[in-house]
Amino acid sequence: MVAQLPRGHPELNRTPDFAHFSEPAEPTESSEPTDSAEPAGLPELRAVAASLLARMADLRERDQPVPDALFRAAQRFQPLLDGVDPESEDELDELWGLALALPGLLRGLLVRDGVEDVESRGA
């Protein structure tokens, strides 16, 4: 049940206060330095690293050998999963090159495993 104010009550004639609907304040500069921002594409590279390690765990679970190229790639991606960002743009580019080479490595692995109907899902 909703209570109603009696006719003539001062609250009925009060002008609403819209101060809380005022324009938002101008953004202030953050105290964090701008160079601490995460480089573009780093979350995607971390996702690639996690996927690669999951694939390697699957291979180990099935007692299948992990190809050397895949093992080396996993070693390069491991620091990303440990929270260590690449130190330079060159290192970031190198990791992207490695990430883009992974489908070929994985496709070769699938063919070796007997899954030969693999089509690339290129960009």
Q: How far apart are CA 99 and CA 80, in angstroms?
A: 12
Task: Map tokens 């953050």 to a residue.
Answer: 30
SS (H, E, C) 18-48: CHHHCCCCCCCCCCCCHHHCCCCCHHHHHHH
Residue 55: closest CA among 103, 116, 94, 95: 103
Residue 118: the pLDDT is 43
Tokens standing for residue 13: 């004639």
* In the chain, domain spans: 41-112
Is the whole-model pTM more than 0.75? no
Residue 61: the pLDDT is 92
Identity of the amino acid at 90: D
The pLDDT tens digits along the chain (123 residues) read 556 667 776 666 666 555 544 555 555 555 444 455 667 788 888 888 888 888 888 888 999 888 888 888 889 989 988 999 988 899 999 998 888 888 776 665 544 545 444 444 444
Torsion 29-30-31-34 (CA) sign: negative
Residue 102: the pLDDT is 81
